[in-house]
Chain A
């Protein structure tokens, strides 16, 4: 297989540029927000600190050095695999991230699977007879998925199921997939349903539009004229050729999910990457936020890259380009 090296190198350089941009942006943004780790830790009690105590604490948190020194010290550490230390949790950021990432990754995979299971059939149903009642129902469900905020759906699911049926697996201590697969999947059920329902909507709409577009193309008419069966025509010829936009939207949504679904993780008490960033911001733990956001950005660009590679696999026209 021919590998377009120039394009690969250009892509890698662009990814590195993006990551550096994210690093600089997050570093500056964090410091632009009022407060620091001292006031976040002590609250208004910080008003009672003597100047000597304040200086001692600034040195302890490493915020007494010039910003440029702080930035390159952190970046240098990151390049050697040291993502920093969380003084709040008393563990390394790497360790925190390695614990949180699988939670978010699993949630993202399950949510995307559910979204695809809901979105593609609904899209196909709608596209099979445009402007019919079945199309209207499909569109209505899609609209609901887009318009119901995840915090509302999450709170409603949790409150109703626990108050009326005593069902709330997320009230139990969190179990990883390896510790207790059954409890883990029970705990992932409601959050991935909440997220999957929201993501199913754009997938459904994209599927519908793409299917309608492909259906009107010449090769479909030819296939039909040649007597290809309806099921084979729908799945192999039409859906197969409509996959590129569906993969694009799925890849994008998956990338966003890897950034952590903060609200859903909060409501369902999932110790994922979104919560890690939120707690880091609240506690003004610079290293935690900077390093975690960098990891998220890295995941996002990698997912984007994989999506692009997937185009080449599923669509010969992209390969030909």
Chain B
């Protein structure tokens, strides 16, 4: 749904899928438009203060979905695989891996000499314990569905694990890079980790002051390059404007902001603002299971009546790009290839006539107020544009909790939303637009054709074939106006002049705190 404080639909809970096969071969381009200068000889030491707007709500990595919680946990926990700055899958706690010829077995060689924060050694038993527990439904781990293809995990020897799959799974390696798949010590308990995190990440937990701050310190036993910083304090400053003020007075050195208006106020002086295009997307979700929207012609009429650039300019100051369904660089949809790439009211009238609704239709639309800055403005612009095509958006502006309740129940004709994106299209849309997807009730649309296309995309290991498959999926979604995709926005990383070595990422991760230094 929204990005304000929560990476929704598991956008961070499963940071991206499927790059294992596709992106590495296709040489995906960096999705980072702005970056912070990297120092060649980082200065060691110092306490970096990062401004965040909300206290993390859960420090147990398998259940954390909140943006702030996920970011803090990324500094503390290790995963079998990781993403590099271009969102390619690279080794993490698994140093290397090989697939069997039928792609049904993955053998992973684990890093040796790795230790948890409490000093206990890491081994294959911890990996087996973690993956088995994540799959266990009673754990209620948010990433359980991402291991659906894994039938069993064997700890072959102390430094090797073998994953047995029910079918080839192109998304598996990227799935394993999520902090929701963090490897925990085999004696870990949820209750203990909620207060005292114990991972293999570049930092170790130091202190938490509820509603004030969380501090992590350098992990001197970390297996990778040691972080230059002594510690990072995530300081809770509830208001983004107040964060900018704290940065201007040099009390905070780094912050990630969502609001373009606030980011503008940070520009100038000793602060640097880097814009990073995001995988998350603004969309008008249509519920095709509702009577009036079950007719594809009504949905297409809506699609043709909307000038997406106008929505972007009006609601978000033009800060973003018009997008199609797939936002990840390796599979990016071409917005020009959709029916009605530009606003076409005559065509919209034709579609309405075909649906026998020339007199117009009314669509009840839910809008969340306060979860992200542009929601209501987007809804109002869409309402104004659609009114020209005799389509009435009946807006219901709801508080966040009420919106989530209605959304979760699929209780809407249409919903203005900001959905989290993932690097791999299977993880991004498979659970929405396949008939067995766990969010299909909310998406409101599926078809046998889409089912088979998603199945093909998941099982194929050939990057070119996958790209072609997801292009067809994108075209299918737009040709049927399953939803109306609008635009992608930016995330703004504000740094003080003393900060170097930090790289913002398109999936909103702040994992490169580990290479950041204070000059």
Contacts and interface: CB of A to CB of B under 8 A. Distances in A.
A52 B160 CA distance: 33
B299 interface: no
Nearest to B442: A47
B450 interface: no
Contacts of B441: 47
Interface in B333-348: none
A283 B57 contact: yes
Interface residues on B, range: 35 or more
Contacts of B98: none
Interface string A164-178: 001110111110000
B57 A168 contact: no
A215 B54 CA distance: 53
Interface stretch (A63-71, A263-271, A295-303, A308-316): A263-271
B58 A88 contact: yes
A202 B265 CA distance: 35
A171 B236 CA distance: 10
Given A166-B249, A279-B55, A269 B405 contact: no
Contact of A52 (B6, B137, B401): B137
Nearest to B233: A173
Interface stretch (B208-216, B307-315, B453-461, B508-516): B208-216
B58 A47 contact: no
Interface in B235-251: 235-239, 241-242, 245-251
B10 interface: yes
Nearest to A41: B57
Contact of B57 (A35, A45, A88): A88
Interface string B392-403: 000000111110
Interface stretch (B100-108, B138-146, B169-177, B324-332): B138-146
A132 interface: no
B405 A43 contact: no
Contacts of A49: 140
Given A89-B211, A283-B57, A168 B245 contact: yes
A45 B142 CA distance: 8
B288 interface: no
Contact of A44 (B1, B237, B265): B1
Interface in B371-429: 398-402, 404-408, 410
A50 interface: yes
B112 interface: no
B281 to A, nearest CB: 14
B246 A170 contact: yes
Contacts of A155: 241
Q: Which of A50, A52, A171 has the most CB of B within 10 A?
A: A171
Contacts of B137: 50, 52-53
A32 to B, nearest CB: 11
A47 B1 CA distance: 11
Contacts of A47: 407-408, 410, 438-439, 441-442
A43 B213 contact: no
Given A47-B441, A48-B145, A91-B210, A158 B401 contact: no
A167 B8 contact: no
Contact of B249 (A35, A52, A171, A279): A171
A46 B249 CA distance: 40
Contacts of A282: 400
A19 to B, nearest CB: 25
A79 B143 CA distance: 41
B130 interface: no
A33 B405 CA distance: 10
Nearest to B59: A90
B314 to A, nearest CB: 25
A276 B211 contact: yes
A206 interface: no
A297 to B, nearest CB: 21
Interface in B1-28: 1-2, 6, 8-10, 13
Contact of B6 (A43, A96, A171, A173): A43
Contacts of B238: 266-267, 269, 275
B239 A266 contact: yes
Interface in A48-102: 48-50, 52-53, 56-57, 86-91, 96, 99-100
A163 interface: yes
Q: Which of A40, A168, A266 has the most CB of B within 10 A?
A: A168
B518 interface: no
B436 interface: no
B241 A159 contact: yes
A275 B211 contact: yes
A33 B402 CA distance: 7
B120 interface: no
A231 to B, nearest CB: 44
A227 interface: no
B212 A173 contact: yes
A172 B251 contact: yes
Nearest to A284: B401
B195 interface: yes
B212 A35 contact: no
Interface in A244-269: 266-269
Nearest to A43: B6
Contacts of A100: 211
B65 interface: yes
B250 A166 contact: yes
A86 B55 CA distance: 12
Given A56-B138, A88-B57, A271 B405 contact: no
Contacts of B212: 173-174, 271
Interface in A108-123: none
A41 B58 contact: yes
A37 B398 CA distance: 18
Contacts of A35: 401-402, 404-405
Nearest to B370: A282
Contact of B252 (A99, A166, A171, A279): A171
A279 B140 contact: no
B9 A90 contact: no
A48 B180 CA distance: 15
Interface in B52-99: 54-55, 57-59, 65-66
Contacts of B128: none
Interface string B195-224: 100000000000001111100000000000
A44 B401 contact: no
Contacts of A90: 59, 194-195
B210 A45 contact: no
B497 to A, nearest CB: 14
B371 to A, nearest CB: 9
20 contacts: A35-B404, A39-B401, A41-B57, A43-B6, A45-B8, A45-B10, A45-B13, A47-B408, A47-B438, A48-B142, A48-B145, A48-B438, A50-B137, A88-B55, A155-B241, A162-B248, A163-B248, A171-B245, A269-B238, A275-B211
Given A57-B140, A90-B195, 16 more contacts: A35-B402, A35-B405, A40-B404, A41-B58, A43-B1, A43-B8, A89-B210, A89-B211, A159-B245, A163-B245, A168-B245, A173-B212, A267-B238, A269-B235, A271-B211, A282-B400
Closest 10 CB pairs of A and B: A171-B246, A171-B251, A35-B401, A168-B249, A89-B210, A162-B245, A34-B402, A44-B1, A34-B405, A47-B408
